[in-house]
């Protein structure tokens, strides 16, 4: 996402990246995309905007009163629409007696409303002088309507007073240009004839202050936005929406900040509300198009791109990006349909890279392909790092994805991954959510049924295993495998039952299947090693325990099992094992005779030449101690060249650390300052 500052000093971001040039939309949309609106309201030079003049050929006649109404809608609705000539709710309409030839009613933009709780009383026939008997001349053509203004916004009958009013406000006489009076508190009309100036109406002043406050809030939000402080900008835009909930520009501003903080689902909702309030809002349509493209909703993106451009083709770069996403998405669906999971994975990645980077459905598609390719850990990781959208937004999506509702498909993939990894309760919960969202879908119903049956079979097998009924447990796990033959957990559990029954060969076969599906499944590897030990397959057993020891370096049981397997393997080869012991420490050599005696023994000896204060030796010594525990069949020796320089001189060692490996009394390798990886590889290679 890129950020920029427009000519008005307002920040905006382009959801489609730098390829989208907002200026290319100018043919039908003369505004920049994905940024806060800077001018929500007209520039009010006065708390009351001047009224529109009547046509010059209209003759006005004297009248003691006129009628008008105020609908009571929020000011922000009308102010936002003030640039057009359309009539909206919230307008204040006025009519005046004119000649019979002029029968039209003048529309006036709402620029004030009474905000107090008291009633408003208009001195209907009182003039502008001080006496009650004076008669005011009829207002000129551009005056506000006279008459009794009621809190409801309707015109009350002359002389009627609202009942039970805590206080009354009187519309005084005022000047001709602003109607017959000013609003006065307390029910007393002011005599404004002697001044010739109209006092500012309390209700009008409150409205003007509200407009100014909203402009200040929006301006503050824009300042934070253009600095990239989206969280702070969102706070101000939230206040603006609270003040003007039905203003499309306020909604569009809030959507821009939500995009900045990554809350795309909420941003979509705000943009949808903006276009509902103002269907011609091109900026909101463009935001919606960009958001839908990022979410992988191609049809929605295409529709809003056209609406943003008033039916004309959108920017070529944006259109090309949309077509790329659509093309890769179609290929992904085709590959999934024929079971080409490598192709499905490739196309899912290409769709995400083309622009649909925030689509939970595409990340779920990638996870599904990885699951089918027996890459369970990667599938789980793909779901874990998938974009998190609001559940309410996902639940509201009616778009189909691979034949299922979008959110339902995500839950189905989650259920399959959870079941493969042994999280059966979570799998059932996810499948049930998918069924609730898409109850009529056959594929969803099939997956839900399979998940339930597999979870039930696993629970029954566990109960049988705990009670020592291994044969029945083996059958129960087998029933679950009928519905999910690629479930590594059920294969491993059945292998455990078979090992308890002494069926070592079958146990190895089930472990092999579990590891084929999930190569990193340590429990299956441990059970296969134990079964191979029983079958006296020493080389395979040592190989499995070597992997386990590397993955579980602190597990003493694994290290001891490896030692016994290595001992048995050497014995089967006829090698000398009298000097082998488990859990030994690095032997400190203090004389040349001791070194010669140690390396003369059969087997492998690793001699470590070191110095006490050498920093490299200080760093690698703990690793040597760990290797001694991990490879108990090897004999580790340590020579401190400062304490026994004669040994170092005899072995011609001048640089430390130096390692020499002897096998069957012969030196087979010498390493000077090796790294840990090289050292471990050499020890493992010569110890087996």
pLDDT, tens digit, for every residue of 247-302? 999 999 999 999 999 888 889 999 999 999 999 888 889 889 999 999 988 988 99
The alpha carbon dihedral of 433, 437, 440, 446 has a sign of: negative
Mean pLDDT of 168-177: 42
Q: Of 34-43, 481-490, 604-613, which range is least confident?
A: 34-43
Q: Of 200-204, 358-362, 462-466, which range is least confident?
A: 200-204
The alpha carbon dihedral of 573, 578, 579, 583 has a sign of: positive
Mean pLDDT of 595-613: 88
pLDDT classification of 624: cutoffs 50, 70, 90: very high
Q: How many residues does the chain have?
A: 688
pLDDT at 519 over 70: yes
Reported as a single tens digit per residue, the pLDDT across 178-192 is: 444 444 444 444 444
Q: Of 60-69, 280-289, 400-409, 471-480, which range is least confident?
A: 60-69
Helix/strand/coil for 170? strand
pLDDT of residue 37: 54
pLDDT classification of 390: cutoffs 50, 70, 90: low
Specify the DSSP class assigned to residue 92: E
CA dihedral (27, 28, 30, 33) in degrees, to 10, reads: -110
pLDDT of residue 316: 82
pLDDT of residue 183: 42
CB atoms within 10 A of CB 264: 23
pLDDT at 13 over 60: no
Percentage of residues in the chain with pLDDT exceeding 90?
45
pLDDT of residue 446: 93
pLDDT of residue 422: 92
Reported as a single tens digit per residue, the pLDDT across 645-673 is: 999 999 999 999 999 999 877 899 999 99
The pairing of beta strand 635-640 with beta strand 587-589:
parallel
pLDDT at 162 over 70: no
Alpha helices per DSSP H over 535-636:
538-551, 556-572, 592-599, 615-630
pLDDT of residue 684: 84
pLDDT of residue 560: 84
Phi, psi of 468 (to 5 degrees): 80, 10
Helix/strand/coil for 592? helix
Give CB contacts under 8 A, 24+ apart, made by 210-218: 210/75, 210/243, 211/41, 211/44, 211/75, 211/79, 213/243, 214/40, 214/41, 214/76, 214/240, 214/243, 214/244, 215/40, 215/41, 217/243, 218/36, 218/37, 218/38, 218/40, 218/250, 218/253
């Amino acid at each position: 996402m890129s950020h920029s500052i427009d000519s008005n000093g307002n920040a905006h971001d382009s959801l489609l990246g730098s390829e989208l040039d907002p200026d290319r939309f100018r043919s039908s949309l003369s505004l920049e995309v994905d940024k806060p609106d800077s001018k929500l309201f007209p520039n009010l030079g006065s708390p009351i905007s001047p009224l529109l003049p009547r046509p010059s050929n209209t003759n006005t006649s004297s009248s003691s009163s006129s009628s008008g109404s105020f609908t009571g809608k929020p000011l922000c609705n009308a102010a936002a629409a003030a640039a057009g000539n359309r009539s909206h709710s919230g307008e204040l309409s006025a009519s005046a007696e004119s000649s019979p030839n002029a029968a039209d009613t003048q529309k006036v933009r709402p620029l004030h409303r009474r905000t107090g709780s008291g009633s408003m009383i208009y001195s209907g026939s009182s003039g502008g002088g001080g006496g009650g008997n004076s008669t005011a001349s009829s207002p000129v053509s551009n005056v506000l309507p006279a008459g009794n203004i009621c809190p409801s916004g309707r015109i009350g009958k002359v002389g009627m007073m609202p009942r039970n009013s805590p206080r009354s406000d009187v519309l005084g006489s005022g000047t001709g240009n602003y109607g017959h009076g000013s609003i006065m508190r307390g029910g007393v009309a002011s005599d404004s004839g002697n001044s010739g100036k109209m006092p500012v109406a309390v209700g009008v002043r409150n409205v003007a202050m509200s407009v100014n406050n909203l402009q200040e809030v929006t301006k503050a939000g824009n300042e934070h936005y253009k600095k990239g402080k989206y969280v702070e900008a969102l706070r101000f835009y939230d206040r603006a929406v609270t003040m003007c909930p039905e203003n499309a520009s306020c909604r569009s501003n809030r959507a821009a900040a939500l995009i900045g903080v990554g809350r795309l689902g909420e941003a979509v909702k705000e943009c949808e509300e903006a276009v509902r309030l103002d269907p011609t809002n091109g900026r909101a349509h463009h935001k919606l198009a960009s958001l839908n493209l990022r979410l992988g909703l191609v049809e929605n993106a295409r529709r809003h791109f056209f609406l943003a451009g008033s039916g004309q083709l959108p920017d070529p770069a944006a259109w090309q990006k949309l077509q790329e996403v659509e093309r890769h998405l179609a290929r992904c669906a085709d590959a999934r349909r024929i079971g080409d999971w490598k192709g499905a994975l490739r196309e899912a990645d290409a769709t995400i890279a083309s622009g649909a980077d925030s689509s939970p459905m595409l990340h779920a598609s990638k996870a599904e392909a990885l699951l089918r390719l027996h890459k369970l850990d990667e599938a789980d990781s793909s779901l874990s790092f998938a974009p998190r959208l609001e559940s309410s937004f996902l639940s509201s999506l009616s778009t189909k994805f691979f034949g299922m509702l979008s959110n339902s498909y995500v839950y189905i993939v989650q259920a399959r991954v959870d079941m493969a990894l042994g999280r059966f309760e979570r799998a059932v919960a996810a499948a049930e959510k998918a069924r609730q969202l898409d109850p009529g879908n056959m594929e969803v119903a099939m997956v839900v049924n399979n998940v339930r049956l597999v979870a039930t079979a696993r629970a029954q097998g566990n109960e049988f295993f705990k009670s020592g009924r291994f044969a029945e447990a083996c059958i129960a796990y087998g029933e679950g495998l009928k519905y999910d033959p690629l479930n590594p957990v059920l294969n491993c559990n059945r292998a455990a039952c078979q090992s308890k029954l002494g069926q070592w060969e079958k146990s190895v076969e089930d472990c092999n299947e579990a590891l084929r599906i999930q190569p990193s499944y340590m429990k299956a590897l441990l059970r296969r090693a134990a079964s191979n030990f029983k079958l006296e397959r020493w080389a395979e057993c040592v190989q499995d325990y070597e992997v386990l020891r590397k993955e579980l370096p602190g597990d003493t049981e694994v290290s001891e099992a490896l030692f016994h397997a290595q001992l048995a393997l050497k014995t089967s080869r006829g090698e000398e094992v009298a000097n082998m012991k488990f859990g030994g420490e690095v032997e400190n050599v203090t004389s040349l005779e001791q070194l010669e005696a140690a390396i003369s023994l059969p087997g492998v000896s690793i001699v470590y030449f070191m110095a006490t204060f050498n920093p490299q030796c200080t760093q690698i010594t703990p690793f040597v101690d760990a290797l001694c525990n991990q490879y108990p069949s090897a004999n580790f020796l340590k020579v401190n060249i400062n304490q026994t320089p004669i040994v170092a001189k005899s072995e011609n060692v001048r640089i430390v650390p130096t390692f020499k490996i002897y096998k069957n009394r012969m030196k087979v390798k010498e390493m000077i300052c090796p790294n840990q990886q090289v050292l471990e590889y050499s020890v493992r290679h010569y110890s087996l």
